[in-house]
Amino acid sequence: MLEIQDLSCGYDGKPVVRDVSFSVRAGEIMCLLGPNGAGKTTLFKTLLSFLKPLEGTISINGHSTAGWSRQMLARAIGYVPQAHSAPFPYRVIDVVTMGRTAHLGWFAAPNAKDKRIADEALHSLQIHPLRDRIYTELSGGERQLVLIARALAQRSDILIMDEPTSNLDFGNQIRMLEQIRLLSNRGMTVVMTSHFPDHAFLCSDKAALLRRGQPFLAGTVKEVVTSGNLKSAYGIDVEVAEFTAANGQKVKTCIPLMQA
């Protein structure tokens, strides 16, 4: 569904990220890991066409996205930014309806169908009670869910999520990962970033690792999230452990080893 081949991206002709190739199929989740400044946002900006690729191709359902209008791309890919403070105190329903922009013609205002789709998105995430609340008065976790609802209202098949768990407490991080898993169960393709390799174990089918000055890695979570790869990316010693929980669930986790 989403296929990236030999992609290099960066600024002013200078690559930040080189030779990136991966594919994510419908209903799969890919977790993109990498240290600060490795180029995760730069790669996302390129996937979303805010930056032109320096080399390589991005294809959706076998069609290169080069030359697609912003509207065509927005219908194919929804973007969920980190929960942010909106400059104006919009109501939640208005923020979510903004997700319909890609489907509106020039100067057209959202109609009853757009409002219905926005309401459906709120229901599907079980946050409809927030409908008439003011976005800027919500907690970080609630805002993040509203931004996901906005992307769902966009009705794209692919979701790009920039650190969907940032600013969330421990419980809400896990609830957010469960929510992402539910979206993928409905057939959505999700590419998300995280600063926690455990999140790849918890909810991803695939993982990718951007490392400064080293080759890009992509594959199954088991192939990519290894102690050696994490050490080469983050410069710390990490052990990957597996244990069986009381309910029989097998869980893998990364254990950092302190030097001091």
Ligand X SMILES: Nc1ncnc2c1ncn2[C@@H]1O[C@H](COP(=O)(O)OP(=O)(O)OP(=O)(O)O)[C@@H](O)[C@H]1O
The residues that touch ligand X, with contacts defined as CB under 6 A, are: 11, 16, 34, 36-42
Q: By the 8 A CB rule, do 28 and 184 touch?
A: yes
Which C-beta is closer to ligand X: that of 122 or that of 161? 161
Q: CB-wise, 11 or 237, nearer to ligand X?
A: 11
- Please name the residues in contact with 254: beta carbons below 8 A apart, sequence gap of 6 or more: 197, 198, 201, 225, 227, 230, 238, 239, 240, 241
Closest to ligand X by CB, 80 vs 130, is 80
Nearer to ligand X, 95 or 191 (CB): 191
Radius of gyration of the chain (CA): 19
- Closer residue to ligand X (CB): 36 or 185: 36
Cα–Cα distance for residue pair 126/169, rounded to 1 Å: 19
Q: Give the nearer residue to ligand X in terms of CB position, either 97 or 194.
A: 194
- Name residues whose C-beta falls within 8 Å of residue 84's C-beta, 6 or more positions apart in sequence: 143
> From the CB of 181, what's the least distance to ligand X, in Å?
23
- Residue 134 CB, nearest distance to ligand X (Å)? 28
**CB of 165: closest distance to ligand X in angstroms?**
13
Least Å from the CB of residue 207 to ligand X: 15
Q: What's the closest the beta carbon of residue 69 comes to ligand X, in angstroms?
A: 23
> Which CB, 38 or 160, lies closer to ligand X?
38
C-alpha to C-alpha distances, 163 to 27, 78, 243, 247, nearest whole angstrom: 19, 14, 26, 29
Q: At closest approach, how far in Å is the CB of 55 from ligand X? A: 17
Widest Cα–Cα separation across the chain: 61
Q: Write the single-letter amino acid at 201.
A: F
Q: Which residues contact 210 (CB under 8 A, 6 or more apart)?
A: 17, 20, 32, 33, 34, 38, 39, 40, 43, 216, 233
Lookup: tokens for 4: 């990236």
In whole angstroms, what is the distance from residue 97 CA to residue 114 CA? 7
Q: What minimum distance in Å lies between the beta carbon of 160 and ligand X?
A: 13
DSSP letter, residue 98 = G
